[in-house]
Structure 1
Amino acid sequence: MKLTRRQALGAFGAATAMSFASRLSAQEGPITVSALYDQSGGLESYGQPIVDALRFAVDEQNAKGGLLGREVKLNVYDPQTNMQLYAQFARQAALSDKPAVVFAGITSASREVVRPIMRQFNTLYFYANQYEGGVCDRNMFATGVTPGQTVEKLVNYSAQQHGGKVYIVAADYNYGQIIADWVKKYTADNGGEVLGTEFFPMDVTDFKTSISKIQAAKPDYVWSALVGGAHISFYRQWKAAGMLGKIPMSSTTFAGGNEHVILTPEESNGIMVCQNYLQELDNPLNKQFVTDFHARFGANYPYITELGMGAYQGFRLWAAGVEAAGSVDRMAVIEALESGISLDAPSGRVTIDPKTHHTTMDVHIARVENGGLIPVETFEQQPPADTAMVCDLIANPDDNQQYVIDF
C-alpha cells in the first residue's frame, strides 16, 4: 500500500513519539512497590491472599500502560511471622528497593515494627489490614476496617438476634485486647453484659477448658477475635463439643485467613462476620473482578479475602494519588491522597479520609454457609469514626502515634 506524504509524516511522528516514550520509561526505570507479608510461619493463610491481590493489582495497572508511562514492579518479602525479619526486610526494602510505597504487616505488632522504619527512611507506607484503630501518622494510610465500622454493627446485630449476654475469646496481643474492649463498650451501650473474657497466645491449640467455661456461663452468643492457624483448633473443638448451633458465634476476624474454607461446613456454618468485602457481593464491578482474578489465579482459588481486597484497594488508591500528583514523590502523593481521593471498587465506594488517612467504605454482615459468606445486611459508607475521635492530621500533621481510644 502506497502512503501519502501526510500519512508517512504521521506514521514517522507516531513512531518517534513511541520511541521517545520507550526511552523515557527505560531511562527512568520501573516504579518499585515493596510488600512484606507472611508467606510462612503461621500467618501464611492471611499473607498469601494479600500478596496475590497485590500481584493482580500490579498486573492490572501494567496492562493499562503502567503509572506515568512507567512499569510497576512488585518486590515481595516473606518475614515468616517473625518480627526481627520484619525489621530486617523493612530496612532492606527501604534502602535497597527505594520503593515509591511499601505495603506491609498483618498483625498490629508487625505494623508497629514497620511503621517507624518507613518514617525514618521517608518511605510511604500503606497498612491494608483490619485493625483496632487509633494510628495517627501522616506517612501511613490504613485501608482496612476499624472497630467503629464493623464491631459496632456486629455487636448490635448479635444482641438484637440473640440477646445481650456475650462471652469473648480473643488473641492475646494488641488487636485482640483492644477489640475486646470495643466489644465491651458496644455491649454496654446496648444494655448487655460481658460474662467472661479470655485471651490466648497465638500458638495455643487446646481450648477445651475455655469451652467448658463458656458452657457453664451460658451466654447468648460468643464473640471470637481469635487469629492465626493455631486458633482454628477452637472452632473444631467447639464443633466436637456439640456447641456449633447451640450458642451462636460472631466474629470480625473469622474468614480473614480463609477459616471458612479451611474448616468444613459442619465446623463453621452459621458463624456471623462483618467485613468490607465479600466475594459474593452482587455488583458488576465485583463480578468482573472475581472473573478476572480467577482467570489469573485459577478457577479453584480458595476465596478472595477481605484482607486481599484491602491491599488491592490500597494499591488502587495509591495509584490514583500518583496519577493526581503526576509524580511518585512521597509528599506530592500524600497531598494528593489528602484531597479525599475516592474510587469505585469491588466492595463499593472507597474514599480516603484526609484527617485520619483511613477510609470510608461499605461494610457487610454475612453468614458463613458452605464455604461462602452470604450477605445479610449492608451499611453504606461508614467513616473511620473511632480513629477520627483522636486523630486530625490536617490540624496536626506532625502527629505520630497510636492512640488507645478512651471510652
Structure 2
Amino acid sequence: MADILFTAEVTVPAPRDAAYAAFGGGRWADWTFEAKVEDLRPGRAVRVAFPVGGVPLAGIARVHRVLPGQRIVLRHETPWRGRVIIDFEPDGAGTRVRLVTSIEDGSIAPLARLLGGDLADDPDEDVIRIGLLTSYHGSAGVFGPAVENCARLAVDEVNADGGVLGMPLRLVVGDDATSPATGLSELKRLHLRHHVDMVIAVHTSATLDAVRPYARRVGLPYFYTPVNEGGKPAGRLFRWGEVPGDQLRRAVPAMMREHGGRGWYVIGNDYVWPRAVGACSRVVVDDEHGKVLGERYVPLSTTDFDEVLESIVDSKAELVVNCLVGGDAAAFERQLHAAGLRQQVRSFGALLDEATRDHIGDQAAEGMWSVLGYFMDLPTTENRDFLARYRAAYGPSAPPVSSVTESVYEGIHLYARGARTAGTIEPASLVGALPGVSFTGPRGPVTVTSTGRLRQPLYLAEAVAGGFRIRAEQGLAGID
C-alpha cells in the first residue's frame, strides 16, 4: 500500500500533560482540528473539521491506540482513510506537538474529487462495476465508512467465490454529502465516467428522489438498502430497508407498556422519510390509545434543538419518535440528555443504529429504543462469524456495523446470486430473476419477495452502555 504522508508541528503553551489532556476538548483548535471526543479509549469516535479550500470539512476518526501523555493514534474514516499519529514532547515551558498524517492509496481518488479532480475507469476492462452511492459528509456522514467496509467485504467474498459469471466485482464509491444535488452529480459520475453496471445505495430518501429519474432513464438497477418510507415497486429500483409501519407497530405498544406514558412528540428532518414516519406515528399511536402532542421537522444539518426541547416540555409528552438522521439525531439526543430530560422523556429512534448510538454517547443514549433488522449484539453464529471477518479485515477499532451499513453486505450478495440465477447481468433479466433469491447473513435469512421487498427479521432493542440489549425478535418485515 502506497500512502501519502503529511507532517506538521506546533508548540502549545502548556506542559505536556495539559496539552495531551486538552485534545478533544476544543482548546488550541488550530492543531486539534476542533476535535471533539468523550474520552480517549480505543474505538471512540472523534469528530474533526479540516480546512479544505478555506471551508471547514467535517470528518470522523476513531481512537486506535494511546500512550497517556505521550502519543495518540487515530484511524481516519472521513473525508479520507488513513492514520494520524500525534506525539507530545516537552519543549521548554511548553509542548511540541507533532502530527504525522497518512492517506491510504485507496483514498486518493476520493481526495482528488474533493480537490476538483477525478480518476476514470477503463470501460473495456472485463469486470462488473458496482457503484456504491453513500454519504461521507453532512448529517448522514456517520454511516459512510462502515457502509464502504461492509460493501468491500461482500465484494471480496464474492470474488473469492469465483466472482459473477467468471468476472470479478469492482466497487466504485460516490459521496452524496447528504445533498440531493450532489447525489445526482455523483450518480452521473459513476455511470458516465466509471461505467457502473448497477448501484447499491445508502443515503437519504431526499437523494433517492433526486437520482431516481436519472437511474430509471438510463436503466440502472438501483438497490436502496437502508431504512426508508416504503412505496410501490418501481421497475429496477428496489427498496430493501425497514419501513415505518413495521417498526412503529412493534415499538409503540412496547414502550407505552414499559414506561406508562401515552403522550408522544415527533421530531424529524424535513424531507420525505421523516414525514412518512410522522404520518405513520399518528396512526399507530392513535390505534394504541395514545396521542401525538407535537410534531416538528427541521432542516438537515440542524445542530441547535433548544426550541424543540422547550416545545417537548410544554407539550408534556413522555415519549419521543426521533426520525432525525445520523448527526442530527445524535445532537438532539445529547442535548435532551444534557437538559436533564431523559428520566421523564424516553425516545424511540427510527434510525437508531450503532453508528448513531456511538455518536450520541453511552450516557445520553442509554434507555433509547430501536427496531431494526440487525444489531451487532445479535447472539447468532452467522453474526459472530461475520463480525470476526469484519474485524480481521478492518481492525478492532473499525467503525461499528449496523443495520444501515450491513444492509449493503446482503445487497451485494443478493445481486451476485440474482445474476448467477439469471445467467447474465443484463438489467431486465437480472431484475426478473431476483424474486425468490435468498441469502443467510448476519441478520438471519433474507429473501427478495414477489413484489421486490426484502423479507427479513426485525428486532426490538434498547440502547445500553457499549451497544444494544436485544429485547425480542419481532417477527418478519417485508411479508407480501
Shift of 1:363: 0.5
| Partner Cα distance (1:43, 1:244) in 2 | 24
Higher helix fraction (1 or 2): 1
Aligned length: 356
Shift of 1:134: 1.2
| Partner Cα distance (1:253, 1:291) in 2 | 25
User: For residue 266 of structure 1, what is the amino acid of its counterpart?
Assistant: Q
2:233 maps to 136
The answer on 1:351 being equivalent to 2:459 is: no
User: For residue 474 of structure 2, what is the amino acid of its counterpart?
Assistant: F
1:362 maps to 457
The answer on 1:208 being equivalent to 2:208 is: no
Shift of 1:381: 2.2
2:324 maps to 226
| Partner Cα distance (2:331, 2:138) in 1 | 17
User: For residue 459 of structure 2, what is the amino acid of its counterpart?
Assistant: H
1:396 maps to none
1:325 maps to 422
2:265 maps to 167
* Matched residue SS, 2:227: coil
Shift of 1:115: 1.6
1:379 maps to 474
* Pairs within 5 Å for 1:8-407: 29-162=126-259, 163-255=261-353, 258-338=355-435, 340-355=436-451, 357-383=452-478
Which is bigger in relative contact order (C-alpha 8 A, separation at least 6)?
1
- Residues 28 and 213 of structure 1, relative CA distance in 2, 3 Å threshold: closer
Shift of 1:372: 0.3
Shift of 1:148: 2.5
Is the CA contact 2:418–2:434 (under 8 Å) kept in the aligned structure 1?
Answer: yes
Higher strand fraction (1 or 2): 2
* Matched residue SS, 2:326: coil
CA offsets 1:113-145 (integer angstroms, 9 cap, x no match): 222211111111110111111143021112211
User: For residue 351 of structure 1, what is the amino acid of its counterpart?
Assistant: T
Is the CA contact 2:318–2:344 (under 8 Å) kept in the aligned structure 1?
Answer: no
| Partner Cα distance (2:219, 2:311) in 1 | 49
| Partner Cα distance (1:41, 1:187) in 2 | 31
Is the CA contact 1:108–1:131 (under 8 Å) kept in the aligned structure 2?
Answer: yes
Is the CA contact 1:118–1:124 (under 8 Å) kept in the aligned structure 2?
Answer: yes
Is the CA contact 1:33–1:100 (under 8 Å) kept in the aligned structure 2?
Answer: yes
Shift of 1:382: 2.3
Shift of 1:105: 4.5
Is the CA contact 2:131–2:173 (under 8 Å) kept in the aligned structure 1?
Answer: yes
User: For residue 64 of structure 1, what is the amino acid of its counterpart?
Assistant: D
Shift of 1:358: 1.3
| Partner Cα distance (2:125, 2:298) in 1 | 50
Aligned-residue Cα RMSD (Å) equals 1.7
| Partner Cα distance (1:182, 1:296) in 2 | 40
| Partner Cα distance (1:49, 1:185) in 2 | 34
User: For residue 336 of structure 2, what is the amino acid of its counterpart?
Assistant: W
Shift of 1:378: 0.6
Give the alignment's TM-score, normalised by structure 1: 0.84
| Partner Cα distance (1:122, 1:319) in 2 | 18
Shift of 1:231: 4.1
Gaps of 5+ in 2: 1-123
**What percentage of residue pairs aligned between the two structures are identical?**
26
Shift of 1:337: 0.4
User: For residue 433 of structure 2, what is the amino acid of its counterpart?
Assistant: A
* Matched residue SS, 2:143: helix
